[in-house]
Structure 1
Amino acid sequence: MEGSIGHAASVFAAFFAIMNPVANTPVFLSLTAGDDSTTRRQVALRGLALAFAIIVVFSLAGNLIFQVFGITLPAFRITGGLLVFLVGFHMVQGDTSKVQQPSAADAKASRQAALDVAIAPLAVPILAGPGTIATAINFSTNAGISGLVVTIAAFFALCVVSYGFFISGNRFVAYLGDNGIKIVTRIMGLILAVVGTQMVIAGVGGAVKLFQAG
């Protein structure tokens, strides 16, 4: 029993270190800057739900998916890194919504665009990125039913924790104000761009190793 608890704690800790909800909270706030609380909650819920679904799928059939589509983890890292870099670049530029005085139709479209952030880049690759997927595959592959259940349960618990962090972040928004959010947005944009670059470097390094091994 103690061994099972210890293993579950290890899996949770591994996921926590990679998905780090503490570090991702400012990123989430920057991505949803200007959104109302309802939209922010929906973005958090959608992003985490999609990330959870992705991890479940890869836990069940990760290696098979990669083999069927001829996908390698380095390629996934490079693509995800480029996406993160582009998001960070636009955040550094201080890009905001082009709809300053929206009509009812424009407001609806703008709201949908805000919700789309939950898919990319929040769910993929920030929450369910290459590292998170690789961790899920590592703990669930060849680990039996118990290992699969522990992996999925641990990630679900982390999603609940992350949702709490994201929603409590509203207090930071009220405290920082508009100017503070703009500053945080640019800082987090720079960090995201660097993280994206690092992901690309890791992906290129992995691709070189695969090429040398082949």
Structure 2
Amino acid sequence: MHDLTTMAVTVFMGFFAMMNPIANTAVFVGMTGEQSAAQRKRTAFKALISAFFIISAFCLLGKAIFELFGITLPALRLAGGILVFLVGYHMLQGSSSKLHSHIPGEVDDDDDKDIAISPLALPILAGPGTIATAMNYSASGEVLNIIVTMCAFALLCVITFVCFLFGPKLIDKVGASGINITTRLMGLILTVIGMQMLIQGVHDAFTLFQHSAV
């Protein structure tokens, strides 16, 4: 029971640091500033539901993807660790990683453009770093790991949805300095998680090499 609780907290904190709901709320408010409260609510719901299904797909199909492309778990942990570390490093510098950010010039401002799917759901909410984190925790293929990973991300989506709904008030309360501090703190957590994934990947790769050599 203790191990399960520890795993659930670790997975949740990994997702929380990667998605950074506070900073993403500022992005969401900026992108939906011209929408009504009802439109903003629909956009937030659609974006988070889309992000949840994207992450769930990678959690459920992670093992099949590995087998299809001949990818080993150590390789994922090494690559994912580097990816997560880089996102965290950029956040430590007080800026968002390009992997989980939106550049206004890259998306047309047409009314027909559905920002809930892109860029909100992908890559801001369910970017490469979030996907790598999900696959790292669920890639063993064990049902318990997959369920815990999906539940942790679902809980984070609910929290993020609440943040989005009260976005303008939240941003006013936290302020620019509060967002900056939160971003740097999440960046620190991500760099540690990324380094842990790297260490585990190196250990697993060395163990796999030893077994292959025997």
TM-score clears 0.5: yes
When residues 113 and 202 of structure 1 are mapped into structure 2, their CA distance, relative to the original with a 3 A threshold, is: same
From 169, 174, 181, give the equivalent of 2:179. Answer: 181
- Measure how far apart 1:48 and its partner are: 1.6
- Measure how far apart 1:93 and its partner are: 2.1
Tell me the TM-score normalised to structure 2 length.
0.67
Within the alignment, does 1:169 sit opposite 2:160 as a pair? no
Match of 2:137 in 1: 131
Within the alignment, does 1:16 sit opposite 2:11 as a pair? no
Percent sequence identity is 28
Is the CA contact (8 Å cut-off) linking 1:41 and 1:167 kept in structure 2?
A: yes
Is the CA contact (8 Å cut-off) linking 1:87 and 1:192 kept in structure 2?
A: yes
Is the CA contact (8 Å cut-off) linking 2:8 and 2:148 kept in structure 1?
A: no
Match of 1:49 in 2: 53
Match of 2:67 in 1: 67
Tell me the TM-score normalised to structure 1 length.
0.67
Count residues in correspondence.
Answer: 187
When residues 122 and 77 of structure 1 are mapped into structure 2, their CA distance, relative to the original with a 3 A threshold, is: closer
Is the CA contact (8 Å cut-off) linking 2:11 and 2:149 kept in structure 1?
A: no
- Please give the per-residue CA displacement for 1:147-189, whole angstroms capped at 9, x wherever unaligned: xxxx877665554433222223345545312220111111211
Is the CA contact (8 Å cut-off) linking 1:21 and 1:165 kept in structure 2?
A: no
Deviates more, 1:184-193 or 1:11-20: 11-20
Match of 2:27 in 1: 34
Q: Which amino acid aligns with 1:77?
A: R
- Measure how far apart 1:210 and its partner are: 0.5
Cα-Cα RMSD: 3.7
Q: Which runs of 5+ in 2 are unaligned?
A: 33-39, 97-101
User: For the residues of structure 2 that align with 1:98 and 1:84, how far apart are their CA atoms?
Assistant: 20
- Please give the per-residue CA displacement for 1:24-74, whole angstroms capped at 9, x wherever unaligned: 17723334533227465544332221111222224xxx2x54333221111
Deviates more, 1:24-33 or 1:49-58: 24-33
